[in-house]
Each structure stands twice: as C-alpha cells, then as structure tokens.
Structure 1
Amino acid sequence: MAQETVVKRSPSKEKFVRFQFAIRLFVLVLFLGWMFNWIMKPTNTYTKRWLPRYRAKTNNSTYFGSKGAYLLMYTFPVLLVATLGCVYLHIAKKLNDSNTKSCNAKKRKETIWKRPVLIKGPLGIVSGTELAFFLMFVVLLVWSYTASVRYSFATITPKLAAKDGDKVWEEKLESASLRLGVVGNICLAFLFFPVARGSCLLPLLGLTSESSIKYHIWIGHIAMILFTSHGICFIIYWTVTHQISQMLEWNKNDISNVAGEISLLFGLFLWIATIPRIRRKFFELFFYTHHFYILFMVFFIFHVGISYTCIMLPGFYLFLVDRYLRFLQSRRHVRLVSARVSPCEAIELNFSKSHGLTYNPTSVMFINVPSISKLQWHPFTVTSNSNLEKEKLSVVIKSEGTWTRKLHHLLSTPSTIDRLAVSVEGPYGPASTNYLRHDTLVMVSGGSGITPFISIVRELIYLKTTFKCKTPKVVLICAFKNSSSLSMLDLILPISGTPYDISDLELQIEAYITRDQELKEDGPVHPKTMWFKPNPSDAPIHAILASVASATFLWNKAHIAKETNQIQNMEGTTPTVSPNSMVYNVDRELESLPYHSLIHATNVHYGVRPDLRKILFEHKEASVGVFASGPKIMRQDVAAICSSSLAENLHFESISFSW
C-alpha cells in the first residue's frame, strides 16, 4: 500500500497564513466601516454633522474636489479591499498548492449555519449563513427607508407645504417617493459585485461568480421593485399636483427626470425578460435584453449626477474592469485540438492551454463559436485537471438547447470541417478546494450535471497518482434518461497520453437509467474523436490578465505569441487514422487498464430512480461531503435530506450553473 505523504507546515507557510489572516482582519474592519456609513446615512447625525465636515475638508482639496466626500466614504474603501483581495488570492493559491502537496488536510466540522435551511421557494436552496445575510440586507433597506422618511416627515409642516402650494400629504408623497429611489441606489451599489467573474472580492468570502449569481438575482428584483415604485409614485405626485410637465424636464445641473424615466424603461425591459418562463423559453431574448444594463446605467448617471453616482460606483467600476479584461482575453481565437462526440449527443472540446494556466475543479469557462452566433457566450464546466493535463483544457457540452444542438450538428458531420474558430473567457472557479477534508464524497448528478464531478474525480486521480495521498472514498450517483447517456461515463477518463492511474482510487459509480429497461445499442457505444488542423492565428488558452492596463496586455503579447508558436510546433503532427479521415474511435484507450477499472467500478440500474435517502443515510463516516448537480428538483431533494437532524455528518453543497 502506498504511504501517505505528510509535510509539516514550514515557517514560510506559517508566515503566509498569518499574512492571509491579517488581510482578512483588515478587510473585515474596512467592510464594517463601509457598512457603518450605509447605516448612518439616513440619520441627522450623518447629514448635518458628518457629511458637512467631510465636504469642508475635501471640497478645497486639489485631488478630490466636490466629489471627495463620497469618494472617500464609499468608493475608496471598496477599491482598497479589491486591491487587498488580489494579494489574498495570490497567497491563497500558494497555500492551496502547498496543501495539495502535503496531503495533510484537516477535518473541519461544518457549522449549522452552512446547512440548508430553505429548500424550496423563490430564494432557492439557501443556507443559514446566506439567509442571515439576506435578512440583514433587507433590514438595512427597511432601516434606511423608514429612518430617512421619519426624519423627512418631521420637517414637513402645514405652513411649509402651503408655502410650496402643496398639501401635507402631497409633500410627504414626494418625500417618500424620493427615498424609494435613494434606497434603490443601495441595491445598485451591491448589484454588480456577484457578476464580476474574475472578482478578487468574492474569494474573500469563499464565493465564486457562478455560486453568487443568485445574489445578483435577489438584489436585482429588489432594486427594480424600488425603482419602479419610485417612478410610479412620482408620476402620481406630479399628476395630483398638476405638474405632469415635470416628466419632460432634463436638468443638466440637478436631477434629470427624463433620464430617470428612460433608465427605468430599459430596466423594466431587462427585468421582464428575466421572468423564469420567458428566460427558459426565449433565452436569446433574455440574453440580448440583459445588455440594456449599459443604457440603464448611462441614463441613471444622467439622472442622479456624478456626485451621487460615486455611492454605487465601486461595484460597477470593478465590473467594468472585469469586463474589459474578459474582452482582452476573448479577442483572439483559441486553439481547438480535438472533439470527442458521444452517442448521447454530448461533446468534449479539448483546447490547447499554456502551462502557466491553472484552475481548480468545478471551474467554468464561457465559450463563443462565431460560426453559430457572434454574440452568444455560454458557460460550460471544465472537466480537465490543470495539473494532470498540463497542455489541454477540456469542457463537456450536452446538446440540449438551440445553440448546443447547432454545435453538435456541426461536429457530428466531420467531413465538412477541419477547423473550428472558438473564443473563450475564463476559466473561473473557486480560489481553493480541499476534498481531502472529507472521509467520503457522495456526488449526486442528473443528466449533464455529471460534468463538474468529472473534474473532481480527475483531481483525486492526480492527488493519488502524483502525491500518493489518502483520498476519500468516492460514490458517484448519476441518473440518466436513456442508456445511450452511459457514454458520458467514458469522459471521466482523461484524454489519451495523460499519465494517471484510476485503479487505486476508491471509486464506486451507481448509474440509474430511468426510461430504458435494458441496454439499447442502436449505434456506436463509445465516443468518437475528431482532430482539428492547427492554425497559425489560434492561440492556447491563457489566464485572464491580473492587471487593468492595456500596456500590460501589449507587453505580454510577444510572450503569448512565442508560446503559441512553440505549442503549435509541438502539435503540428496531429494524429489521424488515415490521410483521408479526421475521425477515429479511441479503441486503444478503451482497451486500456483504466477503462477496465472504470467498468468494474460501475453498476447500472435500469428502469428505477435512486433512493437518495437510503443511499445517503448508509454513510456513517464522520465527514461526508454531499455534492448535487443537475435538475432543480433533484438538488432540492438532496438538500432536504442533508438538512435533516439525522444527517449531521452530511455536508451539502449545490453546484448549479443555471441562470
């Protein structure tokens, strides 16, 4: 039996850990100070004492000017946190690599706050921590609105209202309407943080961009409710006070009503397209209308002015930086080496990547194929392992929608294509992973939900093969509709030529075929591989830039071109079966020892569904990591089981890439 490699923590590693802790502590202080500004903002203490003092000190400043108070209180802290986040990520990567090599993972007991507390409902699967922060955010909004309205109403008197030609209730309606917009701006300040895919803030909280999409959805709905109420209430006010002409005012030095109305209209178009039924049935409509956020933000800035924009500026600015970096990465086509087409209409795309590009399991990459659509980008799970497969990056795509069906049709007729132009963004994933902390991993998937688990299995293969780590027992439960989908299991094995050994991995696969009563072999059983000819203009996939300057990109361009040429020279001899054929069946790989090991580890059940409760409760180990990926109902069922008081050893995690 292979001995477990154990490496003691070195002094340099201790230093990194302490430095990382110091960064998180300082970030926590900054964040609490930033939040304290939001809490105090609706009070008289803030508006009559603190803000005037800030303005007095910054208005005469050469560097800040009239916008200085808002920049110092709201913009600067977040940008400083983002800078520290970059340092934190760099240290986290070093520590993650060190932990991987040491194979000395600590068994940490999961707190009750991380267990699912809400399973079904409009918020989806929500843990105790997520629910607590969501409720605190709602309390902040309620406090900001009620406090500001209360202080405002205290200044409205019959005498003052009569002076303006209004009634008291009309003045109060105007004040309440204005405060709805102010509170909506708080939502806008948080709205863009979750959608910055390469964010250096989310990893500080242990989040990824894909897992944070739900926060963007929650905040977006609340923001649009507040902004819509803000607009409707003002229209009512202008109507009852006979000032409907105010709707046509564009004030260059103050609030511009027309700009606000235009911004709200774009927001409403965007919001309507996010209705789940519309989004699922007309995804392209949802995709294109979501770009109205650009016009929404432009007219919002015209509406409130530059000074007030500084309050919500940090999140939007970081999103724009992220978007610019993604644009730089996606400018060139990447080198697509091969494609494995499965009988179940699943496609594995294998790209060339630079040796310096590393990523963690369950990462996601966005793909654009101009020959199908020049504008559409779709996210797919990265199934390869950056350590095990140093020169290749793979994603698996299941033919389920219009775009994916077109791609499958394109690649299932290989005689018509010998090169496919592809652009990518990413990969994006967790800053660190530690699957060794569990005694057992139970991975429950439905359909194409198996793809993120392929990357986890390959990570464990790498740890077992390279460092002789003691890896947890792996139980993969996969449910498919038809027996042809069993070919998805072949994709668990890395591409041919990669040094690995799956036989030492304690892997158990339970495959459930729900519609077929027996194996049906109407066509090819195993995937077929298509090799593409190299093109000088294609580049290997590189990591997204960590700098915002175009000069950095141009400085790296020569190095990228040099590495591209080296990789293309190595790949110039593309394997083929014959000069006239670009397709062949991977018989040699399928007859290998790893393939037989995969067969022996697999049990197939026909015409039944997995009894998830029985399967999960059978595992009595101290720490069982339960991962669920696939249909929403299946993930909810697994979450409900893991939230039971009888399942204290089950630690649930949902892997969802649905928008």
Structure 2
Amino acid sequence: MKKMIRGAIKLLLFVVFVGIMFLWIMTPTKTHRNIWRPKIQAKVNNTTYFGTQGATILEYAFPMLFLAALGCVYLHLGKNPDDNQTESANEKKGRLSVWKGPALVKGPLGVVSWIELAFFAMFLALVIWSFGNYLYVGFSTMNTPHMHGNMGHPVEVRIEEGWQKRLKTAAFRLGLVGNLCFVFLFFPVARGSSILPLFGLTSESSIKYHVWLGHMALALFAAHSLGYIVYWVATEQFSEMIEWKKYGISNVAGEIAMLAGLAMWATTFPQIRRKSFELFFYTHYLYIVFVVFFVLHVGISYTYMMLPNLFLFMIDRYLRFLQSRKNVRLLSTRLLPCETVELNFSKSPGLQYSTTSILFINVPSISKLQWHPFTISSNSNLEPEKLSIIIKKEGSWSQKLYQILSTSSEQRLNMAVEGPYGPSSSNHLLRHDTLVMVSGGSGITPFFSIIREIIFLSTTMNRKTPKIILVSAFKNSADLTMLDLLLPITGSPSDISRVQLQIEAYVTREKQQNMDNNKNLIQTIWFKPNVSDQPISAILGSNYWLWLGVIISCSFIIYLILMGIITRYYIYPIDHNTNQMFPSASRNVICMLLICISIGITASAVVFKNKNRNAMEAKQIQNMDAPSPTTSPGSWFHNADKELESLPQQSLVEATNLLYGSRPDLKKILFEVEGSSVGALVSGPKQMRHDVATICASGLADNLHFESISFSW
C-alpha cells in the first residue's frame, strides 16, 4: 500500500516538475506575455486581497512550494525502505551507471558526471533561450517614444538614439536572465530542504551548483548594472543613479544590492577563499543585504518568482538557528599524535543518519560566528547513543581547537551543532560487489561510517555486503594512527570476521618504520557535561520530513492570510481612495516582515512540540564511561603491545598491509579488482580525485563506477 502511494506521489511530483520547467521555458515568449499572463491577471489580480501580486504567486510561487511540501510526504513514506529495494535498484544500475560516470575530470567545473553535464547544458540553453526571446520582445516594442515621469506629474518625452535604446533594452534583459539564475540559487544551500533529496542530491554535493549559479547570476547582474550606467552617462541622466523612486523600480536599492553582491563574489574565488577563509566566511553574510535590497529594487511582486528558493532557505536557516541555540553534550575526545582529534558526542537514539553525513559545529570560545562542517565517522545503527566526528589540525580554527583540547584542564567544553545532513539512504553503496575506497590523509574519515555500516549489516543484520578494499595514503607513520579510529570506543561486535575487509596503507614520505614512537599513542579525555547540555537530536524529531512539510505548507498559508488581510484593509484603501499609490518600499518591507513572521510562528510551534519528546529522551541517556581500545592497526604498527585482546582489532590488524616509501598504483589496483560492479569511492586531495575519475572514465574497465566524496567548498 505504501509503495502504491509513493508511486502515485512520484508521478504527481513529476507532472508538477515538468509543468514548472515548461512555464520557465514559456516565460520570456510573447505567448506568455501577451496571452497567458493577461488572462491570469484578469482573474487573479482583480481581488482586493492579493492585488497585482496574485498572478505571480499563482504561477511561480505556489507550484514550487507545493512540490516541496508534497516531496516531504514522499520522503517520509520512504524513510524506511524495504530490503528488496536494493535488489530492484540493482537491476537499473546498468542503465544509470553510464550517466553517473565522470564526463569531465579537469577544468573549471571540476569532476562532473554526464547527468550533471546534461542538466548544466540544458540550463545554459534555457538562459540563452530566455535572453534571446527577451531581446526579441524588447526590440520589437522599442520604436515607441520613451516616456519619463511619475503619476500626477508632467511627462517628458526623451528622444534617444538607436544604440542607446538597444543598450537599455539589452541591459534590462540581462537583469531578467540574472533573475533566472537567482530563482535556483538558494536551493543547493538549503541543507534540510526536501528538494535536493527528491533528485538524489545532498547539500554538500550540491554546493558546486550554488557556485555555478552564483557566478552566472552575479556576472549577469554586473553586466546589467554596467549597461545602465553607460546608458545614463550617454543620455546625461546622472540623477538616475541616486534616485529612489517612491513607486516602481528603485535604482539606489539595486546599486546597494550590486555592491554587496560584488563583495561576496570577489571573495569566492579559490585563490582568496583558501588563503583568507575568514574573510570569505564573514563577507558571505552580505547575502542578507543583497536579498533585502534586491527585493526593494525589483519589488515584492516580481520577487515572487524567486520566492520558493528564498522561502525554503529561510525555513532551513531558522531551523538551524533554533538547533544551534543549545549546548550539546561532549562525552570524550581522543587525541592522536598526528594532530587529529575525535570528538564523541551524546546523541538521541531516535536520531538516524546515513553514511557520509556531515555535522556543523561551533565552538564559542574560538568564534561565535564560525561554523565548520566535518564528516561523521560513527554509525547510527552501531552506536545508537553516540555520534563522532574527526578533525585534522590544519586551518587556524582547527589549530585553536586542538590546542584547547590538548592543553586545557577544563572538564567541559561548550559546543553547538547543526545537523547532521547527508543522503537520505546509503543503499546505493550496497549495490556493488566490491567497494574500493581511495583516500589521502584525513580524507579517510568519510569511509569510517561506511565501514561501520557494513560491519553492522554483516554481523547484526546478517545481510550480504560488498567486499571492502581501503587504500589509504599517509605522509608519515604518525598519520597511521588514523586507523585507530576505524572502530568505535564501544558498540563494535565482538566478531567481525565475516566482513571482507582489506586495508592497503601507504606511508609516502618514509622509507621504513619509525621506531621512535612510544606506546601511549592515543590520549583519551573524558568530560563531565553540565545538566543543561543536551544530546544531539533531530530538531523536528524522528518524523522530520512530515513536520517539515507542515512548516512549509502552514507558513505559506499563514503568510497569504496575513498579506490578504493587510492588503484588503490597509493597502487597498490607500491605493483606491486617494490620488497617491501605496509606496513600493513600504509594501516590500511589509511583505518581507510577514514572510519572516509566518515562518517564525510555524517553525517555532513545531520545534516546541518536538522539544518535550527530545527532553524525555535526553533524561534516559546516561553518560558513557567506557575505556578506550587498547590496540588497533595504527598502534600495533608502532610497536605497541602485540598482545591483541580485542577480536575486532585483531581482525583489522590481520587485514592490513603496510607499505613504506611508495604511492598507491591506483590504475593497477582498480583494474585488478574482480566483480561485475565495483564502486570506486575517493576522498582526498584534488589530484587524487582527478586520477581516480580519469581511470573510471577511460572505459578500459566496464565494471568501475566512480563516486566522489568531496567536501572542498
């Protein structure tokens, strides 16, 4: 029954999505402008409750928000998929694997699959199509004299030269095409939104789409602004640059938005972002200024075209804000000699997350504003009451954190989190016969959660799992202690011999084993949290998707009701009973405030409803007081006691092959792997990802299927 309901919802979602895409294709055409749009306006815009905004809400805002709300129901019904789904999906693997393979490996877009390349090409075609049609419509209406003036004032007729008219028309249309990029700009960064999972995407894997759209939008907006500046200079209309019209378009607001956009854009390029991350991070908060003044520039009626992605992002951002207000319970930390730390948090047993999920953390004693994402190394099935992340000492923020943990004598550390965020399911990994995981340095951390998931499925669930080949490259022998974190402190089954695991560890900068390491390689620090510290839990409880759908639908309905009341009893009388129209800026500000109020009321109510349940679960969770493992592969290879008391760690040591002074021959390793389907997962430096992608895209081995796990933002 559930499968049939999901099938019906999926069909409806597909129909709505196709309709939305068709609408955007038709938007720049004369058919839409002269036939469809006037008919919709005649029926909707006559109402005293919505005014001129009704048609845009009905055309552009409602379908996308309906898709997001219905998608929440679809994801809620599929959050516990049947085991048979993996097998049925395996039958479709052959057709999809070709499209999921890398099409481009090197270049400005990075590693891009055929599906991504196809959608990117279609979007570029839509941009070109829209610009061409906008120009055609604009040039066809260009022969009429250009009128200047406001309601109730004399009208001046300005005679313009042909090139000036064409420049102004082209500049205006460049802004319209930039708005098309803006329509999709915030979808990839709404971490908990339902839109991305509907397409099998995650927020961390979609950041590159946000980057692409951001570059395109700001380039078009910059060309739009430059075109108007040249036009104003050529026609000697310098006053237009400092004009804030009471009705209609406000040029000053657009200039402020453009300056904020340029400041953000300048710091996003890799050369600046990597060297001055804090500058990039803080400058990006100017998106608030950009959005507010963008709305003041174009007006709220036109902004409804971009409303869905802004609306969903604001919901997600407010939920993240509510989650980050509480301090989480940090149980312990493990310090490694390779300047790496593992943080172990208490979590609610009801919180479930998939492999390769990420968690954003904030340490107020370092920075109250900075949030950094880290891969979750634990497994929600194997460790139901604990969540772990691994942090390598690299940037200034992580260096300060390592210094605090290694030198401070405090028994508690204030931390806040957002997340976790990740794929809706990890079943796609189980479709392969073998998983080859290639990592460099700290890039090994995403694979810990995958290995622990396979351990759980193989030992506890007694399911057939793929063979694992872990190929890890480390700079020196001290980094080998990263392998000590492969198994959790507690929760690992006593016998993992059924797991087919092979570890190939390479130490690239040392020719032989370093004998100078002492036996006490790992330092474990246990904390004593305050009673106010809470375990990590889902902000909307176990029924996250269902409650998110309630927030989306109810907040939008509340907004429409509030806007309708204010329009009918406040704005409408001024517009129709006086000689003056209601000021555009005031209308825009009121609508923005109503959107914030409706989201705040609905989201706060739902979070408060789930807060009591989370509090009850928090009382049931006891502090974990378990000893740290005595040995594991990393410490064993560093001359620690060879007396292995733990069977899981003994199995890992036996499965590990250590090589010094060489790098892995990735082509040989991948080509020699047997099996009809081999998943090639890579996490590490950019060059390593490119090498594995090139091998998989070469076509020399039909059984290789590339999957990049990159968190390089």
TM range (shorter): over 0.9
Q: 1:104 to 1:315 in 2, by over 3 A?
A: closer
Question: Is 1:120 aligned to residue 140 of structure 2?
Answer: no
| Cα offsets for 1:333-378 (capped at 9, x unmatched) | 0000111111111111110001110000000000001111111000
Query: Shift in Å at residue 557 of structure 1?
Result: 2.5
Conserved? CA contact 2:539–2:607, under 8 Å:
no
Query: Shift in Å at residue 564 of structure 1?
Result: 2.0
Q: 1:572 to 1:127 in 2, by over 3 A?
A: closer
Question: Is 1:301 aligned to residue 287 of structure 2?
Answer: no
Instruction: Kindly report which structure 2 residues correspond to 1:452-467, keeping only aligned pairs within 5 A, or say none.
Output: 452-467=446-461
Select 1:85's aligned residue among 71, 84, 87. 71
Conserved? CA contact 1:334–1:421, under 8 Å:
yes
- Match in the other structure for 2:438: 444
Aligned residues: 632
| Cα offsets for 1:194-249 (capped at 9, x unmatched) | 00001111111000000000000000000010000000010000000000110001
Select 1:473's aligned residue among 467, 474, 478. 467
Partner of 2:3, secondary structure, is helix
- Match in the other structure for 2:688: 634
- Match in the other structure for 2:273: 279
Question: Is 1:247 aligned to residue 301 of structure 2?
Answer: no
Conserved? CA contact 2:489–2:627, under 8 Å:
no
Give the Cα–Cα distance (whole angstroms) in 1 for the partners of residues 144 and 616 of structure 2. Answer: 77
Q: 1:469 to 1:576 in 2, by over 3 A?
A: closer
- Match in the other structure for 1:537: 532
- Match in the other structure for 2:556: none
Give the Cα–Cα distance (whole angstroms) in 1 for the partners of residues 380 and 493 of structure 2. Answer: 13
Give the Cα–Cα distance (whole angstroms) in 2 for the partners of residues 555 and 492 of structure 1. Answer: 37
| Cα offsets for 1:238-276 (capped at 9, x unmatched) | 000000110001013200000000000000000000010
Partner of 1:543, secondary structure, is coil
- Match in the other structure for 2:90: 106
Query: Shift in Å at residue 571 of structure 1?
Result: 1.8
Query: Shift in Å at residue 73 of structure 1?
Result: 0.8
Give the Cα–Cα distance (whole angstroms) in 1 for the partners of residues 290 and 270 of structure 2. Answer: 21
Give the Cα–Cα distance (whole angstroms) in 1 for the partners of residues 701 and 473 of structure 2. Answer: 23
Question: Is 1:509 aligned to residue 563 of structure 2?
Answer: no
Q: 1:324 to 1:588 in 2, by over 3 A?
A: farther
- Match in the other structure for 1:5: none
Conserved? CA contact 1:388–1:498, under 8 Å:
yes
| Cα offsets for 1:26-46 (capped at 9, x unmatched) | 112111111111111111111
Conserved? CA contact 2:339–2:402, under 8 Å:
yes
Question: Is 1:401 aligned to residue 395 of structure 2?
Answer: yes
- Match in the other structure for 1:263: 257
Conserved? CA contact 1:103–1:470, under 8 Å:
no
Q: 1:159 to 1:94 in 2, by over 3 A?
A: closer
Give the Cα–Cα distance (whole angstroms) in 2 for the partners of residues 572 and 396 of structure 1. Answer: 19
Give the Cα–Cα distance (whole angstroms) in 2 for the partners of residues 442 and 199 of structure 1. Answer: 31
Question: Is 1:43 aligned to residue 97 of structure 2?
Answer: no
Q: Which moved more, 1:385-394 or 1:497-506?
A: 497-506
Q: Which moved more, 1:516-525 or 1:616-625?
A: 516-525
Conserved? CA contact 2:61–2:304, under 8 Å:
yes
Give the Cα–Cα distance (whole angstroms) in 2 for the partners of residues 589 and 445 of structure 1. Answer: 29
Give the Cα–Cα distance (whole angstroms) in 2 for the partners of residues 94 and 595 of structure 1. Answer: 32
Give the Cα–Cα distance (whole angstroms) in 2 for the partners of residues 574 and 385 of structure 1. Answer: 17
Query: Shift in Å at residue 92 of structure 1?
Result: 2.1
Query: Shift in Å at residue 23 of structure 1?
Result: 2.0
Select 2:137's aligned residue among 137, 147, 151. 151
Give the Cα–Cα distance (whole angstroms) in 1 for the partners of residues 339 and 705 of structure 2. Answer: 33
Partner of 1:106, secondary structure, is helix
Conserved? CA contact 1:480–1:512, under 8 Å:
yes
Query: Shift in Å at residue 556 of structure 1?
Result: 2.5
Instruction: Kindly report which structure 2 residues correspond to 1:648-659, keeping only aligned pairs within 5 A, or say none.
Output: 648-659=702-713
Q: 1:600 to 1:67 in 2, by over 3 A?
A: same
Give the Cα–Cα distance (whole angstroms) in 2 for the partners of residues 164 and 105 of structure 1. Answer: 65
Select 1:132's aligned residue among 114, 118, 121. 118
- Match in the other structure for 2:418: 425
Partner of 2:398, secondary structure, is helix
- Match in the other structure for 2:51: 65
Q: Considering only aligned residues, what root-mean-square deviation do their CA atoms show, in Å?
A: 2.1
Identify unmatched segments of 5+ residues in structure 1: 1-14, 578-585
- Match in the other structure for 1:180: 174
Q: Which moved more, 1:614-623 or 1:516-525?
A: 516-525
Conserved? CA contact 2:473–2:507, under 8 Å:
yes
Give the Cα–Cα distance (whole angstroms) in 1 for the partners of residues 628 and 269 of structure 2. Answer: 48
Give the Cα–Cα distance (whole angstroms) in 2 for the partners of residues 78 and 255 of structure 1. Answer: 26
Query: Higher relative contact order at CA 8 Å, sep ≥6: structure 1 or structure 2?
Result: 2
The percent identity for this pair of structures is 58
State the one-letter code of the partner of 2:164. Answer: E
Query: Shift in Å at residue 462 of structure 1?
Result: 0.3
Q: Which moved more, 1:106-115 or 1:283-292?
A: 106-115
> Normalization by structure 1: what TM-score?
0.92
State the one-letter code of the partner of 1:658. Answer: S
| Cα offsets for 1:395-441 (capped at 9, x unmatched) | 11111111111111111125x12111110000001011112211100
Q: Which moved more, 1:639-648 or 1:57-66?
A: 57-66
Q: 1:63 to 1:622 in 2, by over 3 A?
A: farther
Give the Cα–Cα distance (whole angstroms) in 2 for the partners of residues 243 and 53 of structure 1. Answer: 36
| Cα offsets for 1:532-586 (capped at 9, x unmatched) | 012111000001324442112222323323322332xx22868799xxxxxxxx9
- Match in the other structure for 2:185: 191
Q: 1:589 to 1:283 in 2, by over 3 A?
A: farther
Give the Cα–Cα distance (whole angstroms) in 2 for the partners of residues 252 and 130 of structure 1. Answer: 44
- Match in the other structure for 2:615: 561
Give the Cα–Cα distance (whole angstroms) in 2 for the partners of residues 287 and 220 of structure 1. Answer: 15
Conserved? CA contact 2:435–2:468, under 8 Å:
yes
Q: 1:99 to 1:344 in 2, by over 3 A?
A: farther
Give the Cα–Cα distance (whole angstroms) in 2 for the partners of residues 604 and 115 of structure 1. Answer: 31
Give the Cα–Cα distance (whole angstroms) in 1 for the partners of residues 604 and 443 of structure 2. Answer: 38
Question: Is 1:211 aligned to residue 265 of structure 2?
Answer: no
Conserved? CA contact 1:156–1:168, under 8 Å:
no
Question: Is 1:411 aligned to residue 405 of structure 2?
Answer: yes
Partner of 1:147, secondary structure, is helix
Partner of 2:223, secondary structure, is helix
Question: Is 1:618 aligned to residue 672 of structure 2?
Answer: yes
Give the Cα–Cα distance (whole angstroms) in 1 for the partners of residues 469 and 504 of structure 2. Answer: 8
Query: Shift in Å at residue 163 of structure 1?
Result: 5.3
| Cα offsets for 1:302-325 (capped at 9, x unmatched) | 000010000011001100000011
- Match in the other structure for 2:623: 571
- Match in the other structure for 2:590: none
Give the Cα–Cα distance (whole angstroms) in 2 for the partners of residues 103 and 78 of structure 1. Answer: 32
Query: Shift in Å at residue 103 of structure 1?
Result: 8.5
Query: Shift in Å at residue 469 of structure 1?
Result: 1.2
Give the Cα–Cα distance (whole angstroms) in 2 for the partners of residues 89 and 165 of structure 1. Answer: 58
Give the Cα–Cα distance (whole angstroms) in 2 for the partners of residues 500 and 357 of structure 1. Answer: 24
- Match in the other structure for 1:324: 318
Conserved? CA contact 1:330–1:424, under 8 Å:
yes
Conserved? CA contact 2:363–2:414, under 8 Å:
yes
Conserved? CA contact 2:508–2:662, under 8 Å:
yes
Conserved? CA contact 1:23–1:88, under 8 Å:
yes
Q: 1:257 to 1:159 in 2, by over 3 A?
A: closer
State the one-letter code of the partner of 2:682. Answer: A
Give the Cα–Cα distance (whole angstroms) in 2 for the partners of residues 424 and 61 of structure 1. Answer: 46
- Match in the other structure for 2:564: none
Query: Shift in Å at residue 621 of structure 1?
Result: 1.1
Give the Cα–Cα distance (whole angstroms) in 2 for the partners of residues 476 and 558 of structure 1. Answer: 43
> Normalization by structure 2: what TM-score?
0.86
Q: 1:501 to 1:80 in 2, by over 3 A?
A: farther
Question: Is 1:598 aligned to residue 652 of structure 2?
Answer: yes
Query: Shift in Å at residue 589 of structure 1?
Result: 11
- Match in the other structure for 1:12: none
Conserved? CA contact 2:684–2:710, under 8 Å:
yes
Query: Shift in Å at residue 158 of structure 1?
Result: 8.3
Partner of 1:609, secondary structure, is coil
State the one-letter code of the partner of 1:477. Answer: V
